[in-house]
Structure 1
């Protein structure tokens, strides 16, 4: 019994909190409510998927990213293809966001 508890504690200690967690959680909460996503929504989802792919921690965000993909009836590959096409045509983010590097 103590062995199982120690393994759980070790796992919890290894999980990290992403520095962008609070901001990303807000964006993701908005995406969860989108029934008809726009180009910005697709780009935000793809950006967050890339950010949290393989990240140790933020399991709630990772699970909700998959929920959004499912609700929009897209695979990850379809989402990335769609966002590449969106970015190829023009800017997705407004001028107020220019200069901010949010890919970290």
Structure 2
């Protein structure tokens, strides 16, 4: 019989928790949409961080979005502008 997998602590949990708290209290700006999409990707199949996963889902619902709509919007945003300009442009920490 397989052992149930134990939840893991994500190494980015602390900084991501702060971002999620901000998303919960702000409007869906281009930057916030990009952050939501980035974090949804990071945590979609992560075995842990259930609080962040639940709150990301809550933000998606507050902003009346589906994952497909969010992904479409963020593709448009990234195609039109450099969202992370001035925030350390090497912001490729998707995992």
Structure-1-length-normalised TM-score: 0.83
Partner residue, 1:60: 51
Structure-to-structure mapping, 1:85-96, within 5 angstroms: 85-96=76-87
User: Distance between the aligned counterparts of 1:87 and 1:50, measured in 2?
Assistant: 15
Q: Which is richer in helix?
A: 1
Task: Give the 3 Å change call, closer, same or farther, for CA 73–100 of structure 1 in structure 2.
Answer: closer
User: Distance between the aligned counterparts of 2:57 and 2:36, measured in 1?
Assistant: 10
Q: Looking at CA atoms only, which structure, 1 or 2, has the larger radius of gyration? A: 1
Q: CA deviation at 1:22?
A: 0.4
- Number of aligned residue pairs: 93
1:17 maps to 2:9: yes
User: Distance between the aligned counterparts of 1:46 and 1:20, measured in 2?
Assistant: 16
Q: Which runs of 5+ in 1 are unaligned?
A: 1-9
Structure-2-length-normalised TM-score: 0.90
User: Distance between the aligned counterparts of 1:88 and 1:29, measured in 2?
Assistant: 27
Q: Which runs of 5+ in 2 are unaligned?
A: none
Q: CA deviation at 1:100?
A: 4.3
Over aligned residues, Cα RMSD in angstroms?
1.4
- Bigger shift: residues 94-103 or 24-33: 94-103
Q: Structure 1 stretches (4+) deviating beyond 4 angstroms?
A: none
Q: Structure with the greater relative contact order (CA < 8 A, sep ≥ 6): 1 or 2? A: 2
1:51 maps to 2:37: no
User: Distance between the aligned counterparts of 1:83 and 1:89, measured in 2?
Assistant: 10
